[in-house]
Structure formats: structure tokens, C-alpha cells
């Protein structure tokens, strides 16, 4: 049986290169800029060549989303390692907001959609959750109380990240100072939740 030769255009691209190119487009131009035509143009290939590597635009978006969640998970895990309590919280908060600042397009797509049926999304999101839960254990929060606290922490950090990205901080104040006030408030809130939780 004769082996089918891969077209020359296909040999220049891999799924990893597709994802990296998509991320660059996202971060430079925003989520609406992510099209197969734009990715193919950036890679110097014809659009049909991409279908050898991804299941259309939805498949590419899913691959990029998994990549984004994994990158966020890595950043949070590195930040939390060797720390506990407020120190861990502040480090994780800096890593989260930093991810949103430096990769705004990827961050936006990372949060888009659920795709809970995809095993890769569940695994990547599970790593993020595990890191946050480890930080919360430093406050004495476990079980259902820790899950409520996770929503509280995520809402605070996403709110800051989204407002900053949208230009919502127009006053001439130091944003980093505002950020550390937020960390102080979240820290105090977690202490209060821990005190109110059944031991």
C-alpha cells in the first residue's frame, strides 16, 4: 500500500504552531480576530491545510482554551509553591492578574464557554482549582466553604482584571496600590469566612 505524501504546506505547521499563532493573534487583536483565514495567512499556508490539524474553528478555539487554562494553572502553581496564608494569596493574585495583563486575548478566550464535556478542559481546570484550594486550606477552609471561597476569590480577581483591561480605572491612582488593597480585602474576607465556618 502506497503511503500518502503530506503536502508541503502541511509539513510547515503542527498543532502547537497553530495554537501559538492563534494566541499571538488573540493577544494582539482580540477574540474576534481569531479565524482560520487569519491563522492560515499568518502561517503562510492555505486555509484548507489547517483542517489536517484541527477540527475547524471550534476545534482550534478549544485547543487554544485548553492551552490557556494550562498556562494559567502553571502560573498559579508556581506562584503558590512554598507559600501559605496571605503570602500565597497575594502571589496567586499577582500571577492571575499578570496573566490577564500580559495575555489579554488568551485570557478572554480561556474564560469563554464551558466545554465541560472535554476531558482536557476538566483536567486543566482541575489543576487550577487544586492550587486555589491549597491556598484556601492555609486559611482553614475546606469542603463546601472552600468552594464558596473559590468563587469569591475568582470573582474579585477577574473583576479587577476585566475592569483594568476595559479601561475602567480612569482615575489617576496607582493601580498596583489598588490591587494590594483588593488583596487585603480578600484576605480579610477569607479570614472571616474561616471564622464563620464550622470546625
Q: How do residues 18-58 score in pLDDT, each as one tens digit?
A: 999 999 999 999 888 899 999 999 999 999 999 989 999 99
The ranges assigned to domains in the chain are 1-54, 65-196
pLDDT of residue 98: 97
With a CB cutoff of 8 Å and minimum separation 6, the contacts of 110 are 65, 68, 69, 72
CATH architecture of 1-54: Orthogonal Bundle (1.10)
pLDDT of residue 11: 59
Alpha helix stretches (DSSP H) within 35-118: 36-43, 56-80, 85-102, 104-111
Tell me yes or no: is domain 65-196 CATH 1.10.357.10. yes
Residue 199 C-alpha cell reads as 470546625
Residues of the chain with pLDDT under 70: 1-11, 113-116, 199
With a CB cutoff of 8 Å and minimum separation 6, the contacts of 54 are 15, 18, 60, 63
Buried b (16+ CB within 10 A) or exposed e, 136-161: bebbebeeebbeebbeebeebbeebb
Amino acid at each position: 500500500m502506497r503511503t500518502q505524501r503530506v503536502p508541503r504546506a502541511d509539513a510547515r505547521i503542527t498543532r502547537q504552531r497553530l495554537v501559538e499563532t492563534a494566541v499571538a493573534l488573540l493577544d494582539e487583536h482580540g477574540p474576534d480576530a481569531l479565524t482560520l483565514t487569519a491563522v492560515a495567512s499568518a502561517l503562510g499556508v492555505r486555509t484548507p491545510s489547517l483542517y489536517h490539524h484541527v477540527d475547524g474553528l471550534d476545534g482550534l478555539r478549544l485547543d487554544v482554551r485548553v492551552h490557556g487554562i494550562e498556562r494559567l494553572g502553571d502560573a498559579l502553581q508556581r506562584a503558590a509553591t512554598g507559600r501559605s496564608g496571605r503570602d500565597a494569596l497575594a502571589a496567586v493574585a499577582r500571577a492571575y492578574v499578570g496573566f490577564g495583563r500580559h495575555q489579554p486575548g488568551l485570557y478572554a478566550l480561556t474564560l469563554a464557554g464551558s466545554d465541560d464535556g472535554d476531558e482536557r478542559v476538566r483536567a486543566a481546570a482541575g489543576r487550577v482549582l487544586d492550587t486555589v484550594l491549597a491556598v484556601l486550606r492555609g486559611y482553614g477552609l475546606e469542603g463546601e466553604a472552600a468552594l464558596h471561597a473559590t468563587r469569591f476569590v475568582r470573582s474579585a480577581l477577574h473583576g479587577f482584571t476585566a475592569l483594568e483591561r476595559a479601561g475602567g480605572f480612569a482615575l489617576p491612582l496607582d493601580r498596583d496600590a489598588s490591587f494590594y488593597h483588593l488583596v487585603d480585602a480578600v484576605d480579610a474576607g477569607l479570614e472571616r469566612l474561616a471564622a464563620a465556618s464550622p470546625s
